Structure 1
Amino acid sequence: MERPKVMELAHARKVDAVLVTELSRWGRSTQDLLNSLNKLSGWKVSVVAISSNQSNRYFGDDCCTAKFAPL
């Protein structure tokens, strides 16, 4: 799924979390990454980055009950 569509779904609260393979793949630059993470945080949407067989949740409440928007 394209990032603009994911952001649209997140803003509409149709997803609770965004699942990415690596956090570095989400943003086009450091500033872009920080801006989008701040927007998602403001919308109470978690970001979950999975890399090296481990999961890191950056924002949000309970990822186990989240509706994900995979990229």
Structure 2
Amino acid sequence: MQYKRCKCGKAERWDTGEAVRPCEGCTECQTTYAGSSADHKPLEPHDWKPQFNRDTGQEDGAVCTRCHKRKRGD
């Protein structure tokens, strides 16, 4: 495991070895997680795609195609 943080140091996490997704990181300094200061990249917006409820077939929010974060509908 590797310890990674954003450029300003306010967001941090332990990494399991998977690639850092371009939409995961710090919303304050707008950088991705990295193990060293040379590896920080600008934070990209989530790529939302609609998600549907299996039982009803109705749209049930959205999912990011990169990081799989869920955005629920109201």
Instruction: Bin the TM-score by the shorter chain.
Output: under 0.3
Larger gyration radius, structure 1 or structure 2: 2
Q: Normalising by structure 1, report the TM-score.
A: 0.28
**Higher RCO, 1 or 2 (CA under 8 Å, sep at least 6)?**
1
